[in-house]
Amino acid sequence: MSEKFYVTTPIYYVNDVPHLGTAYTTIAADAFARQRGLRGRMTRFLTGTDEHGLKIDRSATERGMTPKAFVDEVSAKFREAWPKLHCEPDDFIRTTDARHIAAVQRLWTRCVDAGDIYKGDHEGWYCVACEQFYLEKDLVDAKVCPTHKREVEWMKEPTYFFRLSKYQDRLLALYAARPEFVLPEGRRNEVLSFVREGLRDLSVSRTSFAWGVPVPGDPAHVMYVWFDALTNYLSAVEGTENEGFWPPDLQLVGKDILRFHTIYWPAFLMSAGFADEQLPRSVFAHGFLTINGQKMGKSLRNTVEPLRLAERFGADEVRYFLLREIALGQDGDFSHRKLIARTRSELAATVGNLLHRAMPFATKYLDERVPAVDEAHVGERERALRAKCETLAADAGRAWDSFEPHRALECAIQVAIETNGYFDARAPWTIAKDPARLSELGTVIYHVFESLRICSVLLWPALPTKCDALRAQLGLSPLQPAVDQDQWPGAWGQLLAGTAVSPGAPLFRNITREDEQELLKEFVVESVETVAVSKTEAPTEASPQPVTEGLANIAFADFEKVDLRLGQVRSAEKIPKKDKLLKLTVDLGEESGPRTIIAGIAMAYAPEQLVGKQLVVVANLAPRDFGKGLISHGMLLACGPSESLSMVTLEKPMPVGTRVK
């Protein structure tokens, strides 16, 4: 059989819609599938949705829906989102699929047959958001989940346990024998020390709710959602024509769920009788994205909507940015400004511009064809360019092999940078003036076109649509991975002379300074509105920049007219049909009692996150009427875009009502 490559993403919880974090993993997996496909491997790319468990059950109830109707609706959003980001999974698995349920029950039965599942009682602190029990020592402030910063619940129930402790030694042996099982290397140490501390048996069933896969022979129990979910990678291929893809070659996960994938998952498989060589080859934990420096957890809701980004900035551009900007294993930051900057400098001004500069010579002087090379004109510069391109292509290939897409893409852009330099040095505009130098002109343009062809392959995993458009202009067909056919650029000179070129529109949008202002306004403007929302007057022309310049000086006496006070939030609630607003009661220590303040902060804060917080209030602002009886008696100070807003607080607590000056 040809060499295969089976890549997976986590299956995403349907209590959220696709956001930039889940898009990041999916885009990375898609890019790996494309890249390995270009190298001739037979690829399979799996993603899907995780639909069982208490968290989903509760989300459905909150929405007034049955769990099934709810998961159908949200799962469809994931399935429909990925193609819009030019991701092409071969399969989309849902944990509510019959094929999956049957496979999980089979795996369970195999673990029972191995004597690894036994019945007992389980009690402890449980975080519904993590779907995980916590030891008291791991909680924050005795009762708060360290990941979600919300209160855990005490749960006691009869349960089936999985004999995880039995697999401790075999897991340690696995990590030692196969260092690439946990990647990147730094993460392996984290897993190792966790396992070395000792593994406790794992509770793998629940009786307190019914939304899950029934335990074979004991339907009062549903399976623990992680036993259920992890099996998806197996259920998508087991017993099907795709069985040959097993085991997964690359399991991409966020660092938040590495332990589940490198401890529980192989232990379940070991118990079910899988030999070490039948276990997944590599689990790679990528880092977490922040947005403009802010944490982007779904509980905090300060996400960037990836489809909207794709619509306005281009799906390929967003893919490129994420893969190029962030080293895969490390945390990274997304910002619209950085996205624009990279699109402009690396894509438009380097790759797009190279095509744009060279193509007119083909149109005007070279019969709209890829010119032939006249060896008489191949000199030092040509030889240097060829060698450079070959080296960069090989380096890019190695970078993909070592899970470093950002470096691979850097090599690809370097090809275009080198070629722009070559173009400048060879100055074809001068050569073109002399009809006797036509074959020399052809030689120069051939070198540019061939290097653009190389770029079109090297960049394709990240920018499939743009690269195919580039290829179309060079008279080449779209790239299509073919099994056993390595299409990665090797030796120089694959472009065929005589191929008709087909000049077309610029590949990348030229984002002017005005466009940039518009885009930033559209995406970042909400920050200004948020702060302005409780102003008496409507905001004037909004600016995407924090206002640090342009305002006239004021006298201290004027500043003193603003009564800034420390307030403490006593209660907070959502306002029906007003997505951005929260209604708060804020205590300023006044005899009249806490004030009502309406604030445009609902995109960044859940009401429960605010209760008890000390915030800075503009206390002498004229009341603002929001209609329907909603009157705000003050304004809160905050900073940043509305989805990732940060409230102004004090460094240490002070009595409520204290003047801020």
Give whichever of 52 and 407 is closer to ligand ME8, judged by the CB atom: 52
Query: Is the bond preceding 184 in cis, omega lying within 30 degrees of 0?
Result: yes
Give whichever of 296 and 581 is closer to ligand ME8, judged by the CB atom: 296
Site for ligand ME8 (CB under 6 A): which residue of 5, 6, 12, 70? Answer: 12
- Should residue 85 be labelled a site residue for ligand ME8 when binding is judged by CB under 6 A? no
Q: What does each C-alpha distance from 247 to 7, 243, 275, 411 come to in angstroms?
A: 10, 9, 11, 31
Strand ordering across the sheet containing 91-94: 91-94, 42-50, 4-13, 250-254, 283-286, 182-183
- Should residue 405 be labelled a site residue for ligand ME8 when binding is judged by CB under 6 A? no
Give whichever of 259 and 453 is closer to ligand ME8, judged by the CB atom: 259
- Should residue 414 be labelled a site residue for ligand ME8 when binding is judged by CB under 6 A? no
Give whichever of 232 and 456 is closer to ligand ME8, judged by the CB atom: 232
- Here the tokens at position 4 are 């295969």
| Distance linking the first and last C-alpha atoms of the chain | 74
Give whichever of 263 and 289 is closer to ligand ME8, judged by the CB atom: 289
Using the rule CB under 6 A, give the single segment among 5-13, 74-82, 333-341, 444-452 that binds ligand ME8: 5-13
Give whichever of 13 and 161 is closer to ligand ME8, judged by the CB atom: 13
Using the rule CB under 6 A, give the single segment among 19-27, 355-363, 386-394, 478-486 that binds ligand ME8: 19-27
Give whichever of 12 and 126 is closer to ligand ME8, judged by the CB atom: 12
DSSP conformational letter for 500: B
Using the rule CB under 6 A, give the single segment among 6-14, 346-354, 572-580, 589-597 that binds ligand ME8: 6-14
Using the rule CB under 6 A, give the single segment among 9-17, 402-410, 531-539, 579-587 that binds ligand ME8: 9-17
Please report how close the Cβ of residue 91 comes to ligand ME8 at its closest, in angstroms.
14
Please report how close the Cβ of residue 220 comes to ligand ME8 at its closest, in angstroms.
24
Q: What does each C-alpha distance from 602 to 132, 181, 294, 453 come to in angstroms?
A: 28, 42, 16, 48
Residues 6+ apart with CB under 8 A from 2: 40, 41, 42, 483, 484
* Cα–Cα dist 586/618, whole Å: 12
Q: What is the pairing mode between strands 153-162 and 117-127?
A: antiparallel
Please report how close the Cβ of residue 25 comes to ligand ME8 at its closest, in angstroms.
4
3-state secondary structure 394-458: HHHHHHHHCCCHHHHHHHHHHHHHHHHHHHHHHCHHHHCCCHHHHHHHHHHHHHHHHHHHHHHHH
Q: What is the pairing mode between strands 289-291 and 294-295?
A: antiparallel
Q: What is the pairing mode between strands 218-223 and 214-215?
A: antiparallel
Q: What is the pairing mode between strands 646-647 and 283-286?
A: unpaired
Site for ligand ME8 (CB under 6 A): which residue of 24, 78, 162, 167? Answer: 24
Sign of the CA dihedral with 206 first, then 208, 210, and 212 last: negative
Residues 6+ apart with CB under 8 A from 428: 358, 361, 441, 444, 445
Neighbours of 244 (CB within 10 A): 13
Give whichever of 5 and 12 is closer to ligand ME8, judged by the CB atom: 12
Using the rule CB under 6 A, give the single segment among 18-26, 178-186, 521-529, 531-539 that binds ligand ME8: 18-26
Site residues for ligand ME8, 224-283, by CB under 6 A, read: 229-230, 232, 253-254, 256-257
Please report how close the Cβ of residue 338 comes to ligand ME8 at its closest, in angstroms.
16
Give whichever of 322 and 445 is closer to ligand ME8, judged by the CB atom: 322
Give whichever of 13 and 268 is closer to ligand ME8, judged by the CB atom: 13
**Identity of the residue numbered 448:** V
- Should residue 25 be labelled a site residue for ligand ME8 when binding is judged by CB under 6 A? yes
- Should residue 50 be labelled a site residue for ligand ME8 when binding is judged by CB under 6 A? yes
Give whichever of 256 and 305 is closer to ligand ME8, judged by the CB atom: 256
- Here the tokens at position 388 are 């450079």
Using the rule CB under 6 A, give the single segment among 4-12, 430-438, 498-506, 596-604 that binds ligand ME8: 4-12
Site for ligand ME8 (CB under 6 A): which residue of 7, 11, 74, 495? Answer: 11
Please report how close the Cβ of residue 11 comes to ligand ME8 at its closest, in angstroms.
5
Using the rule CB under 6 A, give the single segment among 17-25, 269-277, 441-449, 478-486 that binds ligand ME8: 17-25
Residues 6+ apart with CB under 8 A from 81: 17, 18, 23, 306, 307
* Cα–Cα dist 531/534, whole Å: 7
- Should residue 288 be labelled a site residue for ligand ME8 when binding is judged by CB under 6 A? yes
What number of chain residues touch ligand ME8 (CB under 6 A)?
20
Shortest Cβ contact with ligand ME8: which residue? Answer: 21
Give whichever of 50 and 317 is closer to ligand ME8, judged by the CB atom: 50
Q: What is the pairing mode between strands 578-587 and 205-206?
A: unpaired
Using the rule CB under 6 A, give the single segment among 13-21, 31-39, 337-345, 585-593 that binds ligand ME8: 13-21
Give whichever of 39 and 100 is closer to ligand ME8, judged by the CB atom: 100
Please report how close the Cβ of residue 63 comes to ligand ME8 at its closest, in angstroms.
17
**3-class DSSP state of 124:** strand
Give whichever of 330 and 502 is closer to ligand ME8, judged by the CB atom: 330
* Cα–Cα dist 19/304, whole Å: 6
Site for ligand ME8 (CB under 6 A): which residue of 5, 7, 21, 469? Answer: 21
- Should residue 22 be labelled a site residue for ligand ME8 when binding is judged by CB under 6 A? yes
- Should residue 329 be labelled a site residue for ligand ME8 when binding is judged by CB under 6 A? no
Which positions from 623 to 642 touch ligand ME8 by CB under 6 A, shown as an x/- string? --------------------
Strands (E), 544-613: 564-575, 578-587, 595-599
- Should residue 29 be labelled a site residue for ligand ME8 when binding is judged by CB under 6 A? no
- Yes or no: say if 329 and 187 are a contact pair by the CB < 8 Å rule: yes
* Cα–Cα dist 172/170, whole Å: 5
Structure-token match 């509305």, residue found: 642
Give whichever of 216 and 329 is closer to ligand ME8, judged by the CB atom: 329
* Cα–Cα dist 501/496, whole Å: 11
Structure-token match 């009809």, residue found: 435
Q: What does each C-alpha distance from 44 to 139, 180, 283, 471 come to in angstroms?
A: 40, 20, 16, 25
Site for ligand ME8 (CB under 6 A): which residue of 6, 13, 274, 449? Answer: 13
Which positions from 200 to 229 touch ligand ME8 by CB under 6 A, shown as an x/- string? -----------------------------x
Residues of this chain that interact with ligand ME8 (CB under 6 A) are 10-13, 16, 21-22, 24-25, 50, 229-230, 232, 253-254, 256-257, 288-289, 296
